[in-house]
Amino acid sequence: MTAKGQQEILDAVYMVIQDRRQNPSEKSYVASLYAKGLDKILGKIGEEATEVAIAGKGGQTDEVVSEVADLWFHTLVLLSYYDLPPERIYAELQRRFGTSGLEEKASR
């Protein structure tokens, strides 16, 4: 998959999340997260981040991939909560690209 294709899948998932937010259904996991509020969404991000760390420590690459996908998904839910399209993140990463991580941190 090309970089453009990878970006397109994140954008497509985000659009589905936005749709579930705007048109909630009892059968929608995303709608259930929104109904439970921001704290639930943030809790899921914390849970998934922990699971990424555990998978990383375990060294099973398929688990790492699965858990990172879960983390990215829940992060997209958070972005949607604030009506922040993924393009904002792409732009921020682009801004930082080519800058030393140490320099970037020092500039904050």
CATH of the domain at 101: 1.10.287.1080
> Buried (b) or exposed (e) across 63-87, using 16+ Cβ within 10 A?
ebeebbebbebbbbbbbbbeeeebe
- Mean pLDDT, residues 25-50: 97
**Number of domains present in the structure of the chain:** 1
- Mean pLDDT, residues 42-70: 97
Determine how many CB atoms are found less than 10 A away from the CB of residue 24. Answer: 14
User: What is the span of the domain harbouring residue 26?
Assistant: 3-106
- Mean pLDDT, residues 54-60: 96
Determine how many CB atoms are found less than 10 A away from the CB of residue 25. Answer: 11
Give the global pTM: 0.86
pLDDT for 106 beyond 80 = no
pLDDT at 78: 98
pLDDT at 10: 94
